[in-house]
Amino acid sequence: MFIYISAFKLWYNSINGGIKMNIGYARVSTGLQNLDLQKDSLEKYNCEKIFTDHMSGSKRERPGLKSAIEFSRPGDTIVVWRLDRLGRNMEDLINIVNSLNNKGVSFHSLQENITMDKSSSTGQLMFHLFAAFAEFERNLILERSAAGREAARARGRLGGRPEKFSEQDVKLLKTLVESGTPIKSIADSWGVSRTTIYRYINKF
């Protein structure tokens, strides 16, 4: 796949004098959504190539995004319809944008009219602001985890009775996992095994 992507890019640049590209990325997360609105907006923004991802069994499986990043070259811009189409959460968004900027690729979101490019002073400011928001989001998650842990302890759910985790508890566990918190850290903080964590996040 990467060979074909690279070949197309080389061909495109050769006939356009090395012109840098706007590369679109669109994603839907439920079966009720469709990509038409996102793709139309990306095409109007002159995105020459658009990669897409549909709902999958795992939120971590985003082959379209992977292909878009592989396809991009220094000077290109990856464009999305809205910020939440790129990252699962703020920290995930910052990590992706950081990897793009390290590659010399800019990022632009249409709905928010935000461009993140660390090569410019404005882009650096935007990046640091979003990094601060990511840290804030991470701290909120940790606080919620601590509160959930105390509530579970009060109900006698720790130390041998994890089978009584409520659906709300499991949603919190999933939030922690999706934010990038290591499974071992979650298991240790809740006083259960990693196997228990995996079993419950796959149960609901």
Residues involved in catalysis: 29
| Residue 104 one-letter amino acid | G
End-to-end Cα spacing for the chain:
34
Q: Which residues pair with 109 in a beta bridge?
A: 80, 114
Q: Which residues pair with 52 in a beta bridge?
A: 26
Pair of tokens at residue 176: 């922690």
Contact in structure between 1 and 67 (CB atoms under 8 Å) = yes
Number of H helices, E strands in the chain: 8, 5
